[in-house]
């Protein structure tokens, strides 16, 4: 009898060990490295069973039953966070569960100075933060104007997405993403803009009223795209003011380029002489005054350069293609000499 009971216990122990080993095996990573990365979405309101089924279909778990048992054992079955997840390596069920309990990690998104609205839309949609077109086709601008007075004259968000490093969740709600941009603009840009005593004349310049912020950003966007040096930007800002006052066309290449490539600079072919003759609201060769909107999202440095503009005897400027240094001149004769020296001779 004693030998019989010993045999029973031995068989039980063996079976238990087999079950434990089998269970432990099912906890191991299921992903085939060849199928990495995997993007996995947990819809808002999804049930635990739905999430489990989707995990299995995505190849993230070996066994639905083992996942359910482990999740219930950990008290985690109904605490999984919705959102969009990215898996760059195979994960075990314990690791997977911890990730789903913590929620999707914020994705850092660097918005570089001079990026346009379309370029930012491309960047964020490529990262899975928003859907493509969410920014460029945003339809609730009037709603945002009621919250942010500095948007008063704006017809789009171009110019108001302050270059900075932001953190977003994947598959972010577009309202949440835009609010993060505009809060940052209000905190950083408006703290620079509002206290300033402006000397620009009504009709083009900037004063302390919110409805003039757009005009400051338009000029700052020109400087951002054409002039790297901040001190040179201040001189150019003074030239732009002077030209506007005397009714002289601004003749800024970047505005024509913005129109030529439909709101993008990346991948845009260089201007040719015929481009300068194609009339549009953004052709500052054929039309006087400012463009209807900024041509990019300017940095704080570019915004400050407009505020701290410098008076000078200059009326023209060009950029040296080799050094990127800005070459200023007082009159058309000297300007033409500089064009031959720095532009024509460099082709």
pLDDT in tens, 232-260: 999 999 999 999 999 999 999 999 999 99
Which pLDDT band holds residue 346 (cuts at 50, 70, 90)?
low
End position of a domain, from candidates 86, 102, 118: 102
Same domain? For 122 and 94 the reply is: no
CB neighbour class for 295 (10 Å; exposed up to 12, middle 13-18, buried from 19): buried
Same domain? For 85 and 140 the reply is: no
The whole-model pTM stands at: 0.76
Residue 166 domain flag: yes
Tell me: the pLDDT tens digits for 63-82?
899 999 989 988 988 899 98
Task: Identify which of 104, 127, 103, 123 has the alpha carbon closest to the alpha carbon of residue 115.
Answer: 123
- Average pLDDT value over all residues in the chain: 87
Residue 265 domain flag: no
SS3 136: coil
CA neighbours closer than 13 Å in the CB half-sphere of residue 303: 25
Total domain count, the chain: 3
DSSP-derived secondary structure letter, 128: T
Residue 279 domain flag: no
By residue range, what is the domain housing residue 327?
313-347
Tell me: the pLDDT tens digits for 86-110?
888 888 889 999 999 988 888 899 9
Same domain? For 121 and 187 the reply is: yes
- The average pLDDT across 215-243 equals 97
Residue 13 domain flag: no
DSSP-derived secondary structure letter, 266: T
In the predicted model, is pLDDT for residue 3 greater than 70?
no
End position of a domain, from candidates 193, 227, 252: 193
End position of a domain, from candidates 159, 193, 227: 193
> Rounded to an integer, what distance in angstroms lies between the CA atom of residue 58 and that of residue 105?
19
Residue 28 confidence (pLDDT):
79
Residue 280 domain flag: no
In the predicted model, is pLDDT for residue 291 greater than 50?
yes
Tell me: the pLDDT tens digits for 10-59?
454 444 544 456 556 777 787 676 677 888 889 888 999 999 999 999 98
Phi-psi region at 101: left, alpha or beta (left = phi > 0; alpha = psi -120 to 50): alpha
Which contiguous run of DSSP H or E holds residue 100?
helix 93-102
């Amino acid at each position: 009898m004693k030998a019989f009971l010993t045999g029973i216990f031995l068989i039980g122990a063996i079976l238990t060990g087999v079950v434990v080993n089998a269970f432990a095996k099912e906890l191991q990573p299921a992903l085939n490295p060849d199928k990495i990365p995997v993007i996995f979405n947990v819809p808002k309101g999804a049930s635990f069973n739905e999430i489990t089924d989707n995990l299995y279909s995505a190849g993230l778990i070996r066994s639905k039953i083992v996942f359910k048992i482990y999740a219930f054992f950990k008290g985690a079955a109904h605490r999984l966070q919705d959102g969009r997840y990215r898996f760059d390596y195979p994960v075990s069920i314990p690791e997977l569960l911890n990730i789903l309990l913590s929620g999707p990690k914020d994705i850092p998104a660097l918005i570089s100075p001079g990026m346009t609205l379309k370029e930012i839309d491309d960047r964020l949609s490529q990262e899975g933060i928003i859907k493509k077109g969410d920014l460029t086709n945003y339809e609730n601008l009037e709603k945002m104007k009621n919250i942010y007075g500095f948007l008063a004259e704006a017809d789009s968000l171009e110019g108001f997405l302050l270059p900075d490093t932001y953190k977003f969740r994947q598959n972010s709600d577009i309202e949440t993403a835009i609010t993060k941009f505009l809060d940052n603009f209000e905190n950083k840009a408006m703290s620079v803009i509002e206290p300033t005593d402006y000397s620009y004349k009504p009709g083009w310049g900037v004063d302390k009223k919110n409805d003039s912020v757009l005009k400051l950003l338009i000029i700052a966007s020109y400087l951002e795209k054409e002039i790297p040096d901040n001190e040179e930007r201040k001189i150019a800002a003074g030239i732009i003011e002077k030209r506007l006052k005397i009714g002289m066309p601004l003749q800024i290449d970047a505005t024509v380029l913005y129109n030529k490539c439909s709101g993008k600079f990346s991948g845009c072919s260089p201007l040719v002489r015929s481009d300068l003759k194609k009339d549009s609201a953004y052709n500052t060769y054929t039309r006087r005054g400012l463009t209807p909107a900024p041509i990019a999202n300017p940095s704080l440095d570019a915004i400050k350069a407009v505020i701290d503009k410098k008076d000078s005897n200059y009326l023209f400027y060009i950029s040296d293609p080799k050094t990127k240094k800005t070459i200023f001149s007082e009159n058309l004769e000297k300007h033409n000499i500089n064009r031959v020296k720095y532009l024509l001779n460099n082709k």
